[in-house]
Amino acid sequence: MDNKVIKSKKIEQKIEDMVKYVIQGKESGMYVFEPNFSSAQCGTSIVGKQKVVMLTSNNYLGLATHPDVVDCSKKAITKYGTGTCGARLHNGTTNLHTELEEACANFFGTEAAVILSAGYLANLAAISSVADEETVIITDQFNHMSIVDGINMSNAQVRIFKHNDMNKLEYILKNNKEFKKKLIIVEGVYSMEGDIAPLEKVVELAEKYDASILVDEAHSFGFIGEKGQGVSELKGVGDRIHMRMTTFSKSLANVGGCIATDKKTALYIKHNAHQYIFNASMPPSAVAGTLQALKVMKEERWRREKLWENTLQFRRGIQKIGLNTMGSTSPVVPIYVGNDDINMKITKELLSEGVYIATAVFPSVPKNESRLRATITASLSGKEIDFALQKIEVIFRKHELIN
Ligand code: PMP
């Protein structure tokens, strides 16, 4: 018998049509994705054998290599093994999982919290289980793909409002009164723009039109608001928000995500969200590391201060060079380029000069609005930032993107 793999011709064609662009990019040396790191996420990391200043890591507070965090993870592996080998409702809950849920609820000041194995899954779980065919979801144009996918998994109707445009949000709320349930979804800090949602206005409108709010605090958790709860705290509206989502993969330098909410909603999500019921739970080492990172985050406040100091140094430096940071007011600092090819060339050239900044192209951002997307961390030194600024200026000048 001929033991060749059996493949549908049509599926094979579809795959080939798409991958030819990836292969072309790799052959022309323009492929800028998946650099292979051979070190931890630090101010300077190693790609292959080359040292690079890291301007793309969500390790905002530099906790990925914190000795206490690492130690807690190691101890958890020794005690619980590498994985839970099951979903939460069956064998996937350890006392650590319960402790982390309590710690998250306590941190946000909510009655309860549900943790999932990824931030991505936390958004899917909350949105796809809470919204149904009687729901209209009103969502910001620039919401993250995990929100878009959560909406697509629900049976809800969707209305999209122009980024941060509160008049448009009100217009939609006013014109969709026939829906029994309304859910507004925004991000605290937008992941590709680095700007902040006008949450106080969102809350006012939600109250007026009887809507729930889900706010994704992935890029604000840990360093915005007095306690670090995010933009909902900064704007003084945390207690008005139905579901506050965050991920553990950024400030807490791990993997996993949570929805902080009231007890009944948490219980509802646990017994309805497929991402909770049909997915293996967070590994105990990740839970223990996250718990310890949460503790360190509260104790070592200097990390937040260093993060903001670095952010200001970088953003001001980029603006001084004459580049467009797209209204960012957070450690997410985009540098606008526009053209995809030039964007990728710049990323490649920067990398070979020892600076890593990821490329953001469609579908992460709208077509022809590509940008370099820097994320600043507390691990960077002033010197490393100056080095990067210098290289950025030289390369952008070479491409005639600076007047
Ligand atoms: N929400 C936002 C705004 C994000 O930027 C991300 C991660 N890029 C997620 C959710 C998903 O989080 P995770 O990568 O931890 O699954």
Instruction: Say yes or no: CB of residue 290 within 6 Å of ligand 1.
Output: no
Residue 33 Cα to ligand 1 middle (Å):
18
Map out the domains of the chain with their CATH numbers: 29-61+301-398 (3.90.1150.10), 66-299 (3.40.640.10)
Q: Specify the amino acid at residue 382.
A: G
Angstrom distance (rounded) from CA 372 to CA 236: 32
Burial code (b: 16+ CB inside 10 Å, e: under 16) for 202-220 equals: bbebbeebebbbbbbbbbb
- ipTM exceeds 0.90, yes or no: yes
pLDDT of residue 156: 98
Instruction: Say yes or no: CB of residue 66 within 6 Å of ligand 1.
Output: no
Angstrom distance (rounded) from CA 396 to CA 403: 10
Instruction: Say yes or no: CB of residue 369 within 6 Å of ligand 1.
Output: no
pLDDT digits over 199-246, tens only? 999 999 999 999 999 999 999 999 999 999 999 999 999 999 999 999
Residue 118 Cα to ligand 1 middle (Å):
8
Instruction: Say yes or no: CB of residue 254 within 6 Å of ligand 1.
Output: no
Ligand 1 pocket test, candidate residues 120, 142, 196, 365, most atoms within 8 A of CB: 120
Residue 186 Cα to ligand 1 middle (Å):
13
Residue 394 Cα to ligand 1 middle (Å):
32
pLDDT of residue 1: 62
* Tens place of pLDDT per residue across the chain (403 aa): 668 999 999 999 999 999 998 999 889 888 889 999 999 999 999 999 999 999 999 999 999 999 999 999 999 999 999 999 999 999 999 999 999 999 999 999 999 999 999 999 999 999 999 999 999 999 999 999 999 999 999 999 999 999 999 999 999 999 999 999 999 999 999 999 999 999 999 999 999 999 999 999 999 999 999 999 999 999 999 999 999 999 999 999 999 999 999 999 999 999 999 999 999 999 999 999 999 999 999 999 999 999 999 999 999 999 999 999 999 999 999 999 999 889 999 999 999 999 999 999 888 888 889 999 999 999 999 999 999 999 999 999 999 999 7
pLDDT of residue 30: 84
Instruction: Say yes or no: CB of residue 275 within 6 Å of ligand 1.
Output: no
pTM of the complete model:
0.96
% of residues, the chain, pLDDT over 90: 94
Angstrom distance (rounded) from CA 51 to CA 349: 14
Instruction: Say yes or no: CB of residue 143 within 6 Å of ligand 1.
Output: no
Q: Which atom of ligand 1 is nearest to the CA of 143?
A: 3
Angstrom distance (rounded) from CA 30 to CA 98: 46
Q: Which atom of ligand 1 is nearest to the CA of 248?
A: 15
Angstrom distance (rounded) from CA 86 to CA 44: 37
Instruction: Say yes or no: CB of residue 144 within 6 Å of ligand 1.
Output: yes
Instruction: Say yes or no: CB of residue 110 within 6 Å of ligand 1.
Output: no
